[in-house]
Chain A
Amino acid sequence: DSGVTQTPKHLITATGQRVTLRCSPRSGDLSVYWYQQSLDQGLQFLIHYYNGEERAKGNILERFSAQQFPDLHSELNLSSLELGDSALYFCASSVDYRADTNYGYTFGSGTRLTVV
């Protein structure tokens, strides 16, 4: 157990639907990052939240959105789903980057989304 919890582990849904993926970071980590892993695109950074605020955006579609709540868990919302959104979605959490010697990223086990 890495300490980063993602739910659900598997999700099967139809095109056009909306889903919510959840991530609870490791205790004490303020940053949450979301990644999409697909066969053709590899690991793509989607978005980064720090202590409730968005800090950076990557290749995130407008149909996707995220937020981080006061208890630091994060949710990734995917709407108007298309077949091409089928992928493994990971979240990671990290300690404050200023704590250099302990700096690192811890990944959850991912949510496998299948759009049919």
Chain B
Amino acid sequence: AQSVAQPEDQVNVAEGNPLTVKCTYSVSGNPYLFWYVQYPNRGLQFLLKYITGDNLVKGSYGFEAEFNKSQTSFHLKKPSALVSDSALYFCAVRGPVRAGNQGGKLIFGQGTELSVKP
């Protein structure tokens, strides 16, 4: 079964330092992987996705993620964190595509709360 794990409930980083939010996945077949961010009382905003191509994916707001097939990981990174990056981050994998389901649902990890202090 497709699944996603975010091993850290919370990540604390000082402003200006690099940040990493971890995600590992389990899929059958080729993974379609996504990162979303949720600010307080807001919806989910798309950051980036990996479907095919380069293992290093660049996304919105200076974020990037590295797809590592051997380690089944898709960690989110940013070279220099901002206080405004503080939010809840979700990793997700597309569920299995079967005849008739037209693409499959997103399966989310539990989320990681990122806190960036000045």
Contacts and interface: CB of A to CB of B under 8 A. Distances in A.
B108 A108 contact: no
Nearest to A9: B41
Interface stretch (A12-20, A70-78, A79-87, A89-97): A89-97
* B-side interface mostly: loop
A80 to B, nearest CB: 25
A97 B97 contact: yes
B44 A31 contact: no
Contacts, number: 69
A42 interface: yes
Given A48-B105, A56-B101, A58-B105, A90 B51 contact: no
B42 to A, nearest CB: 6
Nearest to B30: A100
Given A105-B34, A107-B43, A107-B44, A50 B105 contact: no
Interface string B74-118: 000000000000000010001101001111111111110000000
A56 B43 contact: no
Given A100-B51, A101-B51, A107-B36, A33 B43 contact: no
Given A96-B102, A97-B103, A108-B43, A103 B108 contact: no
Given A92-B44, A97-B97, 19 more contacts: A2-B43, A31-B102, A33-B105, A33-B106, A42-B109, A43-B108, A43-B111, A45-B107, A50-B101, A55-B100, A56-B104, A90-B43, A90-B44, A103-B49, A103-B51, A104-B46, A107-B36, A107-B45, A108-B43
8 contacts: A42-B109, A42-B111, A45-B107, A48-B101, A55-B102, A56-B101, A97-B97, A97-B102
